[in-house]
Structure formats: C-alpha cells, structure tokens
C-alpha cells in the first residue's frame, strides 16, 4: 500500500540552483556588455554563451564565432544530517562545475604570429575571471535565493584541455570553476487527515469561574 498521496512533480532545489547560476551569468553578461559600451570598450570582450548540462559545448565554436562558452553542470551533492531533520528539510552541499571554454585561431601578426593555443588559454582565463567575479560578487552572496541558499563559494579553478584527442585543427582550452553551494532540500510531507470534529465553548460564570463545554461528534 502506498502512503505518499501527492504527485511528486516539483523540482529539487539542486536543479533550481543550477538554473539560477546559469541565469545570473547570462543576465550579468548582458549587463556587463552594456556597461562596457558606456565605458567606450568593446562589448564583445565581455560576451559569453551560457549553457547548462552540455557534454561538448565547445562544438559551438566556429572560425566566424569565437565567443567563449560557459557550461554549468552539477557534479555531486552531499547531505549534512547534523543540520537537517529527518522529516522535512535536508541541508545540502552541492558542487557545480562551471566550465569556461576559450577558442583560439592562430593568426598572422606583423612579421610574426599569434599562436592559437596561447590565444585559447588567454580566452579561457578571461572567461573564468569574469564568471568568478560575477558569482562571487556581494550582490549574489545567496544567489538571489535567500531562504533557500545558505552560502556559495568558489572552491577552486583548474585549467584543462578538453578531450580532443590529437584533433588540434583548432585550439580550445578551458578553466573549471568548482562552485560549492549550500542550500536546503525539501521532501514530501505527511498530509494529516481529519479524525474528529470537536466543538468547544469557553464561558465565564458570574463568580469568574471558567466553564468549558465540549461537544464530540462521534459514532460509538
């Protein structure tokens, strides 16, 4: 016999937090581009493409579109029993990987050249710098989800070369930000059922004695 009487059709907060990270990045990148334009800078230098849970998002690159790519994906969650209760709320610590991909096309430069691999690494680090500053800004201490998110913190940044085998016809480099977020997860709750109707009347007599009258509707 099943006991959970409600359809579990909610999204867990780990999914909401992941989407929120992507939304913050996409939103703030647009804002940064606008600010760059006001500062007479090239807005394209602040542009990013933000994806969620992609396997090989760097396939987005082409020789005509070298905009850096950011991919947010969940890696792991752990639950802290000491700060949770067994009925409703579980304190969760989740690691989200925020991968920043930079693309470089080698180019002639006067009497020399600009190597594509060096350019790709610089682009990846520039993207990671922008992402870290957005996510760790004071404005997003709780990722705009205060009440659910306890804290967020960038635990580290690692550089790596995406899996391309020796297919280095184009150069792609990446940085991975390990973003730890602590938040609450909630689980389905017991729905109480009505057992009895009880009618209680409180009265006070002339000598200030409190008199309670109760009616119980029951079937013997």
Partner 1 sequence: MNIRALAERDLATTLEDGEYGFGWPAVITDPEGNFGCLSIQANDISALIDPDTGQMVSGKSIGVVIRIRTLQEKCLGIPRNVSKRSEKPWTVEFTDVLGASGACKVISADPDYVLGVVSCKLEVYAP
24 vs 158: CA distance, rounded Å = 22
How many Cβ atoms sit within 10 Å of the Cβ of residue 94? 22
Taking CB under 8 A as the binding criterion, the range among 15-23, 31-39, 55-63, 69-77 that sits at the site for partner 1 is 55-63
State the minimum distance, in angstroms, from the CB of residue 15 to partner 1: 26
Q: Does 170 sit near partner 1 (CB under 8 A)? A: yes
Torsion region of 53: left, alpha or beta (phi above 0 gives left; psi -120 to 50 gives alpha): left
Taking CB under 8 A as the binding criterion, the range among 42-50, 53-61, 81-89, 191-199 that sits at the site for partner 1 is 53-61
Torsion region of 19: left, alpha or beta (phi above 0 gives left; psi -120 to 50 gives alpha): alpha
Q: Does 107 sit near partner 1 (CB under 8 A)? A: yes
State the minimum distance, in angstroms, from the CB of residue 160 to partner 1: 14
Of 21, 50, 58, 90, which one interacts with partner 1 (CB under 8 A)? 58
Contact 102, 174 (CB under 8 A): yes
> What is the token pair recorded at 219?
């079937």
Taking CB under 8 A as the binding criterion, the range among 68-76, 128-136, 167-175, 196-204 that sits at the site for partner 1 is 167-175
Q: Is 20 helix (H, G, I), strand (E, B) or coil?
A: helix
Find the distance separating the first CA and the last CA of the chain, reported in whole Å: 28
Nearer of residues 22 and 104 to partner 1, judged by Cβ: 104
> What is the token pair recorded at 12?
């867990």
Q: Does 38 sit near partner 1 (CB under 8 A)? A: no
Nearer of residues 133 and 164 to partner 1, judged by Cβ: 164
Of 14, 106, 145, 148, which one interacts with partner 1 (CB under 8 A)? 106
* Residue 178, H or E segment: strand 171-186
Check residue 65 and report its DSSP letter. Answer: B
Of 59, 76, 80, 151, which one interacts with partner 1 (CB under 8 A)? 59
Residue 177's nearest CA partner among 37, 36, 30, 48 is 48
Of 169, 193, 210, 216, which one interacts with partner 1 (CB under 8 A)? 169
Of 113, 133, 137, 139, which one interacts with partner 1 (CB under 8 A)? 113
Residues that bind partner 1 (CB under 8 A): 56, 58-59, 63, 105-109, 111-116, 118, 162-171
């Amino acid at each position: 016999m099943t006991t959970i009487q409600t359809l579990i059709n909610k999204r867990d907060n780990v999914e909401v937090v992941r989407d929120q990270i992507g939304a913050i990045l996409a939103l703030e990148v647009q804002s940064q581009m606008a600010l760059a334009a006001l500062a007479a800078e090239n807005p394209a230098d602040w542009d990013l493409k933000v994806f969620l849970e992609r396997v090989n998002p760097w396939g987005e690159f082409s020789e005509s579109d070298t905009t850096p790519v950011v991919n947010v994906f969940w890696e792991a969650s752990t639950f802290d029993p000491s700060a949770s209760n067994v009925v409703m709320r579980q304190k969760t610590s989740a690691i989200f990987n925020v991968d920043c991909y930079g693309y470089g096309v080698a180019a002639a430069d006067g009497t020399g050249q600009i190597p594509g691999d060096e350019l790709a690494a610089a682009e990846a680090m520039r993207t990671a710098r922008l992402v870290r500053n957005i996510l760790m800004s004071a404005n997003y201490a709780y990722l705009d989800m205060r009440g659910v998110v306890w804290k967020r913190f960038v635990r580290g940044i690692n550089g790596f070369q995406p899996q391309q085998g020796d297919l280095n016809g184009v150069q792609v480099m990446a940085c991975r930000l390990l973003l730890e977020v602590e938040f609450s997860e909630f689980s389905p709750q017991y729905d109480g059922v009505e057992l009895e109707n009880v009618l209680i009347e409180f009265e006070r007599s002339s000598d200030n004695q409190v008199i309670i009258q109760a009616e119980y509707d029951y079937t013997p």
